């Protein structure tokens, strides 16, 4: 734990504020040819997805079973991208200094919210009314989930975008100061007259923490609404109080994994090595380990209560979701969301590398996809949601060609939106780095170099 | 003489249609099983011990309400929720389909009572006392339970053991409904029931009355049902619905 | 805004050992008073053993009442110790330093008290060994491992053992300090307990490694203990109000909520009693209150999940249970008090920075939280049993008897008395930790101001 000569990370501490700004802004201006190549490939894949979507649409909304994988794609993108914003919010809340270089990387996922929202719209026609079946809307009109879930997700997306925009204002001002011509004009308008006065900084801080707190609460609410309305309440007899919390945990888990993977792609393909270091991977991999353990804990609490009770209604749910019909996605999710990341990340020396967290995070991203499959596909494969409990289990729905097109297109679309958003907002937050320069010092204590962190409050 | 043991599965059929709510079964059980006296004070404390008790409930909506009686006793569930939760194995399932209570093992955590869906497990909150005049009435075949332990309906296992001993062991015959009745081996409540609401027998014996009643009534639209069937406890006590003489069709009962 | 004063090592020793070397008169009065209450509790328990459980208010539907509520409550309090020491040690939170020992000691004593509850509530308490110990004695029957009641003692005793170890490991350097300052039989006692501590680099290193290892090991135990306690209820499928999948995390986070609040109460009491103003500072209360806001809100989220999904299927017993909890007196009053105490009064108050730095308000809010959390367990346990299934004729109620009330009050006195007695023998603020905090304290000049700072190997 405490090696005597642990190298002090955060090599940006050896730079000056001007150097940091120069470096990041320059990168922001010229992304390079590879960037555009990747975006065009992604656009092509998205096109395939749209073709798939049109085929699906032509079949109509009546056959809910056909929409299972579409719902999965929506849920997967929602859980990963919308929760990713939370990484920066949470780390900022606990004042973790190592978050500074990666805060924007996770915040940028707020832009994907627009795409998530688009994906939700067709699902509203697929979702049956709540009349005559169990739901968290109890005696409310049957269309309540359609209305409130849309509003809540919309609000979440708007809130995320506002947070992203707000937290980037100083950086956009920096771009403005370094750019010329039309670009300067554009960023002048976007920077909203940022001058960096004390008053402005105070407003920014308050705005960020308020939006962050609001986003946090809203995200938990939306997780609850979507997990119950779009999955749990469609399966008769499935009454699992922990499910919304479990859904949120898988969201956080995929969010951390997504941030780690994005970080290592940036490290690998761009020259941001100086900012994204083992420190960040170490911090996030500890979180990922904790969340993988929580994944198991929440799953176990739900599973165990059902399994021990031996009630027929609950047994049929276990059979349906875990042990018979959707056995394969469950086992894959269990292995990829819990077992493998746990085995990889339990070692501190692995957590301190770059490859270890990256490997575990990629595995978790695949795992959370299967995790989404095991909830959403079964939910849409049930014809009559108003039954008392599942007496006969419907057959498993395996993905067809259209489903695969939609999955690929959906994920490609989300990545595309993210990449385009990174053209608008610099992907490394320079003002947070510069704040870090103020609050951190490297000093010598006895024989070792040690970081000194200021606690202004 | 090695006697091949017949595997019994004791059970009961309760025909609600015949129950008049006379409480004879309750009294018989009380006398047979050395159950402490349920005084008024104890009733008020909600600590009365009645291994079988007749409950009254209301059926239908006002003004079309009907009072109904239902005798409730331990359901001897095949899948009993009370069994796995006992930390000391004081309650377990024996190989005759009965849920039995071992008084000596019980330490009185009362977890089984909490986890019993039918609420037919009773705890001895007080040391049982009998007036001098009743002491000679105590049944020597049944343990007097001390305070601090759980007890519940045993299907009068002392009589069944005697039946096995006498009928199977000594006479070498098979136990049937007839020789159970003739030898006074039926549970006290069944013996005492004047309307034959309670029918006791071996579900493993296809000839027995209970097996035949089960076969007759557990059909689509039949009268047979089990209490709280949704919980999947699979009781060995089955009930037959009350026949509603005023309802000509099924529709009217729901009106 | 930190009110830190640079203190010399000698000053720290003098201050923190004050509780051991100086005994004010009120101390013995207080101990004697608490002792009397504890005695009353033991007398009540003795009476109960003698007469049988009839002297309680328990009855047929409600077989568990005050004792089990109190058991869950004290298990909950015990969670603060590990939450504060282990997690904060692992994340190297600087403000944990004065809080850890008090929290750990509270863990140990509240666990002991908690485990007494189910034992005395058994019908035949003289036979509980058959249940608690995994041994077949002369009966040839091992305890039934399928029962959640067997997991309970297993989990609690594991937790107790590891917490005692945890306290002891952290205590060894402080005991050595005491050894060097005492004579006579106390010197002998401290010498034995200090395990030959000389303060060499190797010893410090071993102590540090042991502390970190124990922190990491104790965390899963801490989660498991309250999860298992919650499964006493969650696995009971016959009780509609208990059979909820959310119980494990709900109980764990509720435990942390009440436990951390209790630690704040204890810390404030210590600060006042032993005049440790230089050690337990406003910034510590501030940080703890902020932590409490997060924990309380997390707990509230799980409460909402529990409540909504308690009603989700709208089946008879579910609706009846919630109706009893919310609309039937006296439960309505309890329910409202519970919500106000556990969340709606303290949390908005903690949002105000001035409250977080006010001693009377912090002690007020944290005591409120524990009143609320005690009621929370009561409201889960009793109405759940009183509205178990659809048979209305088995529904009932519960009123605690005087015996139960006395015993519950006595447990509070017992824990307070044990903590006070502990303070007489060992320092309640880790001396080594306080000194380390002084060394790692630094200042950074930002612009024109000097800002307090800490050194850290991140």
CATH number at residue B154: 3.30.70.20
For residue C350, pLDDT over 80 is answered with yes
State percent of chain A over pLDDT 90: 48
Average pLDDT, chain A: 88
Dihedral angle computed from the Cα positions of residues C152, C156, C158 and C159, in that order, rounded to the nearest 10 degrees: 140
Which residue of B107, B119, B123 is in closest CB contact with C128? B107
Whether chain A has a CB inside 8 Å of the CB on B60: the answer is no
In a domain, A13, yes or no: no
Average pLDDT over residues A246-264: 93
Total beta-carbon pairs less than 8 A apart between chain A and chain C: 118
pLDDT at C457: 55
pLDDT at C81: 76
The end-to-end CA distance of chain A, in Å, is 28
Window from B174-188, C15-29, C115-129 with minimum mean pLDDT: C15-29
In angstroms, the CA A414 to CA A407 distance is 11
Q: Mutate which of A210, A305, A348, A446 to disrupt the C interface (most C C-beta within 10 Å)?
A: A305
Q: Mutate which of A239, A304, A308, A312 to disrupt the B interface (most B C-beta within 10 Å)?
A: A312
Range of the domain at C67: 9-454
Which residue of A308, A310, A312 is in closest CB contact with B230? A312
Task: Classify strands B237-240 and B66-72 as parallel, antiparallel or unpaired.
Answer: unpaired
In a domain, B200, yes or no: yes
Tens of pLDDT, residue by residue over C397-438, are 899 999 999 999 999 999 999 998 998 889 888 888 888 888
Task: Report the residue of chain C nearest B125, measured CA to CA.
Answer: C54
pLDDT at B2: 43
Tokens of residue C178, six digits: 């005491």
Average pLDDT, chain B: 88
Those residues whose C-beta lies under 8 Å from the C-beta of residue A405, and which sit 6 or more positions away, are A48, A49, A51, A52, A53, A55
Q: Mutate which of A311, A317, A319 to disrupt the B interface (most B C-beta within 10 Å)?
A: A311
For residue C376, pLDDT over 90 is answered with yes
Helix (H) or strand (E) holding A124: helix A112-126
Window from A24-38, C214-228, C259-273, C386-400 with minimum mean pLDDT: A24-38
pLDDT at A259: 94
pLDDT at A44: 94
Average pLDDT over residues C182-189: 89
How far is the alpha carbon of A453 from chain C, nearest alpha carbon, in Å? 5
List the beta strands (DSSP E) in B124-226: 150-151, 198-202, 224-225
Average pLDDT over residues C63-79: 92
pLDDT at A352: 87
In a domain, A297, yes or no: yes
Residues on C contacting A at a C-beta cutoff of 8 Å: 1-2, 94, 208-209, 212, 223, 227, 231, 234-235, 237, 243-249, 301-302, 305-306, 308-314, 442, 444, 446, 451-458
Residues on A contacting B at a C-beta cutoff of 8 Å: 308-313, 315, 388-389
Whether chain C has a CB inside 8 Å of the CB on B103: the answer is no
In a domain, B2, yes or no: no
Tens of pLDDT, residue by residue over B106-140, are 999 999 999 999 999 999 999 998 999 888 889 99
For residue A446, pLDDT over 80 is answered with no
For residue C2, pLDDT over 80 is answered with no
In angstroms, the CA B85 to CA B97 distance is 18
Tens of pLDDT, residue by residue over C149-165, are 999 999 999 999 999 99
pLDDT at A4: 40
Average pLDDT over residues C38-47: 95
Predicted confidence band of residue A46 (pLDDT cuts 50, 70, 90): very high
Whether chain A has a CB inside 8 Å of the CB on B230: the answer is yes
Which residue of B46, B86, B126 is in closest CB contact with C144? B86
pLDDT at B187: 93
Those residues whose C-beta lies under 8 Å from the C-beta of residue C395, and which sit 6 or more positions away, are C61, C320, C386, C387, C388
**Are C456 and A452 an interchain contact pair (Cβ–Cβ within 8 Å)?**
yes
CATH of the domain at C239: 1.20.1630.10
Total beta-carbon pairs less than 8 A apart between chain A and chain B: 15
Range of the domain at B143: 13-253
Predicted confidence band of residue C4 (pLDDT cuts 50, 70, 90): low
Chain C residues with CB under 8 Å of A306 CB are 245
Predicted confidence band of residue B253 (pLDDT cuts 50, 70, 90): very low
pLDDT at A2: 44
Q: CB neighbours (10 Å) of residue B69? A: 17
In a domain, B4, yes or no: no
Q: What is the ipTM of this complex?
A: 0.92
Query: Are A26 and A175 spatial neighbours (Cβ–Cβ below 8 Å)?
Result: no
Residue with tokens 């000049």: C445
Chain C residues with CB under 8 Å of B87 CB are 131, 143-144, 147, 149-150
pLDDT at C409: 95
Q: Mutate which of B230, B233, B234, B235 to disrupt the A interface (most A C-beta within 10 Å)?
A: B230
pLDDT at A9: 65
Chain B residues with CB under 8 Å of C56 CB are 125
pLDDT at A457: 64
In angstroms, the CA C40 to CA C35 distance is 9
Range of the domain at A61: 35-453
Average pLDDT over residues C229-249: 90
pLDDT at A43: 94
Task: Report the residue of chain B nearest A310, measured CA to CA.
Answer: B232
Helix (H) or strand (E) holding B191: helix B188-192
**Are C446 and A304 an interchain contact pair (Cβ–Cβ within 8 Å)?**
no
pLDDT at C11: 82
In angstroms, the CA A60 to CA A65 distance is 11
Task: Report the residue of chain C nearest B123, measured CA to CA.
Answer: C60
Chain B residues with CB under 8 Å of A389 CB are 230
pLDDT at B1: 40
Tokens of residue C372, six digits: 């609320």
State percent of chain A over pLDDT 70: 98
What total of structural domains would you count in chain B? 1
How far is the alpha carbon of C211 from chain A, nearest alpha carbon, in Å? 11
Those residues whose C-beta lies under 8 Å from the C-beta of residue C446, and which sit 6 or more positions away, are A438, A439, A454, A456
pLDDT at A157: 94
Average pLDDT, chain C: 88
Predicted confidence band of residue C301 (pLDDT cuts 50, 70, 90): very high
Whether chain C has a CB inside 8 Å of the CB on B184: the answer is no
In a domain, A21, yes or no: no
Whether chain C has a CB inside 8 Å of the CB on A220: the answer is yes
Helix (H) or strand (E) holding B121: none
Tens of pLDDT, residue by residue over A302-334, are 999 999 988 888 899 999 999 988 999 999 999
pLDDT at C215: 87
Tokens of residue B9, six digits: 């599965």
Window from A34-38, A127-131, A292-296, B144-148 with minimum mean pLDDT: A127-131
Predicted confidence band of residue B247 (pLDDT cuts 50, 70, 90): low
What total of structural domains would you count in chain A? 1
What total of structural domains would you count in chain C? 1
In a domain, A375, yes or no: yes
Rg (CA), chain C: 23
Task: Report the residue of chain C nearest A238, measured CA to CA.
Answer: C313
Tens of pLDDT, residue by residue over A420-436, are 998 888 888 888 888 88
**Are C63 and B149 an interchain contact pair (Cβ–Cβ within 8 Å)?**
no
In angstroms, the CA C361 to CA C355 distance is 6
Between A30 and B80, name the one with better pLDDT: B80
pLDDT at C378: 93
Indicate the burial class of A31 (C-beta count within 10 angstroms; 0-12, 13-18, 19 or more). middle
């Amino acid at each position: 734990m405490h090696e005597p000569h642990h190298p002090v990370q955060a090599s940006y501490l050896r730079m000056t504020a001007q150097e940091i700004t120069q470096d990041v802004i320059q990168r922001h201006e010229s992304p390079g040819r590879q960037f555009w190549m990747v975006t065009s490939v992604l656009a092509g894949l998205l096109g395939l997805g749209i073709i798939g979507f049109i085929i699906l649409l032509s079949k109509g909304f009546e056959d809910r079973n056909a929409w299972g994988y579409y719902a999965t794609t929506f849920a997967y993108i929602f859980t990963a991208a919308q929760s990713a914003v939370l990484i920066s919010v949470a780390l900022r809340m606990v004042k973790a200094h190592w978050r500074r270089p990666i805060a924007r990387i996770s915040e940028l996922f707020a832009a994907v919210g627009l795409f998530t929202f688009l994906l939700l719209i067709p699902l509203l026609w697929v979702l049956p009314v709540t009349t005559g079946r169990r739901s968290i809307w109890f005696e409310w009109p049957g269309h309540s989930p359609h209305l409130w879930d849309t509003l809540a997700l919309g609000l979440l997306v708007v809130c995320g975008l506002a947070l992203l925009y707000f937290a980037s204002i100083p950086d956009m001002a920096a771009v403005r100061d370094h750019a010329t011509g039309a670009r300067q004009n554009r960023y002048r308008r976007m920077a909203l007259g940022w001058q960096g006065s004390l008053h402005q900084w105070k407003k920014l801080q308050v705005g960020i923490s308020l939006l962050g707190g609001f986003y946090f609460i809203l995200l938990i609410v939306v997780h609850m609404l979507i997990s119950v309305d779009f999955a749990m309440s469609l399966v008769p007899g499935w009454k699992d109080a922990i499910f919304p919390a479990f859904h949120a945990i898988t969201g956080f888990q995929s969010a951390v994994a997504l941030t780690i993977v994005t970080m290592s792609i940036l490290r690998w393909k761009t020259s941001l090595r100086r900012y994204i270091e083992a420190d960040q991977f170490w911090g996030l991999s500890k979180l990922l380990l904790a969340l993988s353990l929580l994944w198991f804990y929440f799953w176990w609490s739900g599973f165990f209560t059902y399994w021990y009770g031996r009630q027929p209604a609950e047994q049929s749910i276990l059979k349906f979701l875990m042990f018979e019909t959707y056995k394969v996605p469950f086992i894959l999710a269990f292995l990829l969301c819990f077992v493998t990341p746990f085995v990889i990340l339990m070692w501190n020396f692995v957590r301190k590398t770059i490859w270890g967290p990256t490997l575990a995070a990629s595995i978790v991203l695949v795992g959370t996809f299967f995790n989404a499959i095991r909830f959403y596909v079964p939910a849409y494969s049930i014809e009559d949601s108003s039954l008392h409990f599942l007496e006969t289990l419907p057959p498993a729905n395996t993905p067809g060609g259209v489903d695969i097109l939609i999955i690929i297109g959906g994920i490609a679309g989300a990545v595309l939106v993210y990449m385009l958003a990174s053209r608008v907002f610099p992907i490394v937050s320079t003002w947070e780095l510069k704040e870090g320069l103020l609050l951190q010092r490297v000093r010598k204590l006895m024989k070792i170099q040690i970081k000194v962190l200021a606690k202004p409050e | 003489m090695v006697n091949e043991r017949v595997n019994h599965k004791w059970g009961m059929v309760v025909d609600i249609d015949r129950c008049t709510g006379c409480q004879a079964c309750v009294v018989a059980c009380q006398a047979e099983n050395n159950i402490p006296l349920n005084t008024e004070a104890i009733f008020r404390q909600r600590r009365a011990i009645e291994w079988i008790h007749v409950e009254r409930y209301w059926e239908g909506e006002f003004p079309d309400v009907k009072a109904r009686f239902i005798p409730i006793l331990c359901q001897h569930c095949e899948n009993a929720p009370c069994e796995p939760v006992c930390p000391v194995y004081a309650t377990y399932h024996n190989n005759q389909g009965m849920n039995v209570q071992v008084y000596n093992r019980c330490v009185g955590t009362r977890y089984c009572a909490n986890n019993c869906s039918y609420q037919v497990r009773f705890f001895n909150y007080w040391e049982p006392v009998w007036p001098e005049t009743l002491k000679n009435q105590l049944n020597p075949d049944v343990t007097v339970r001390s305070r601090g332990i759980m007890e519940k309906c045993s299907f009068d296992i002392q009589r069944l053991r005697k039946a096995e001993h006498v009928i199977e062991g000594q006479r070498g015959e098979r136990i049937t409904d007839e020789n159970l009745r003739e030898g006074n081996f039926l549970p006290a409540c069944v013996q005492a029931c004047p309307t034959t609401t309670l029918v006791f027998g071996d579900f493993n014996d296809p000839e027995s009355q209970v097996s035949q009643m089960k076969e007759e009534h557990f059909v689509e639209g039949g009268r047979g049902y089990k209490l709280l069937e949704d919980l999947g406890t699979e009781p060995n006590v089955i009930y037959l619905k009350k026949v509603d003489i005023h309802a000509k069709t099924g529709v009217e009962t729901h009106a | 805004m930190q009110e830190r004063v640079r203190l010399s090592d000698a000053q720290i020793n003098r201050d923190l050992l004050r509780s051991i070397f100086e005994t004010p008169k009120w101390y013995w009065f207080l101990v004697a008073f608490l002792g009397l209450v504890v005695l009353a509790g033991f007398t009540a328990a003795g009476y109960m053993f003698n007469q049988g459980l009839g002297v309680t208010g328990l009855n047929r539907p409600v077989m568990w009442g005050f004792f089990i509520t109190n058991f869950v409550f004290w298990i909950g309090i015990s969670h603060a110790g590990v939450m504060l020491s282990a997690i904060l040690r692992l994340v190297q939170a600087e403000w944990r330093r004065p809080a850890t020992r008090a929290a750990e000691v509270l863990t140990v004593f509240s666990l002991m008290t908690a485990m007494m509850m189910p034992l005395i509530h058994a019908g035949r308490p003289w036979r509980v060994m058959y249940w608690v110990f995994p041994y077949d004695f002369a009966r040839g029957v091992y305890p039934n491992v399928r029962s959640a009641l067997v997991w309970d003692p297993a989990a609690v005793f594991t937790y107790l053992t590891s917490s005692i170890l945890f306290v002891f490991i952290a205590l060894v350097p402080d005991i050595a300090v005491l050894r060097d300052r005492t004579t006579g039989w106390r010197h002998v006692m401290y010498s034995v307990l200090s395990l030959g501590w000389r303060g060499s680099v190797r010893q410090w290193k071993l102590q540090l490694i042991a502390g970190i290892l124990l922190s990491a090991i104790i965390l899963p135990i801490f989660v498991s203990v309250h999860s298992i306690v919650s499964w006493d209820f969650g696995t009971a499928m016959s009780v509609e109000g208990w059979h909820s999948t959310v119980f494990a995390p709900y109980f764990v986070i509720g435990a942390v909520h009440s436990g951390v609040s209790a630690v704040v109460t204890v810390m404030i009491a210590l600060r006042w009693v032993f005049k440790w103003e230089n050690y337990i500072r406003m910034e510590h209360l501030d940080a703890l209150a902020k932590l409490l806001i997060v924990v309380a809100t997390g707990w509230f989220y799980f409460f909402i999940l529990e409540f909504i999904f308690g009603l989700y299927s709208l089946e008879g017993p579910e609706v009846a249970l919630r109706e009893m909890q919310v609309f039937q007196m006296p439960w309505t009053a309890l329910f409202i008090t519970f919500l106000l105490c556990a969340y709606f009064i303290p949390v908005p108050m903690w949002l105000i920075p001035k409250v977080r730095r006010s001693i009377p308000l912090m002690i007020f809010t944290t005591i409120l939280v524990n009143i609320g959390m005690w009621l929370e367990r009561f409201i889960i346990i009793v109405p759940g049993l009183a509205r178990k299934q659809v048979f209305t004729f088995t529904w009932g109620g519960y009123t605690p008897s005087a015996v139960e009330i006395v015993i519950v009050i006595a447990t509070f006195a017992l824990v307070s008395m044990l903590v006070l007695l502990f303070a007489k023998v060992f320092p309640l603020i880790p001396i080594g930790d306080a000194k380390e905090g002084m060394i790692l304290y630094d200042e950074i000049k930002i612009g024109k101001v000097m800002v307090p700072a800490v050194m850290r190997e991140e």
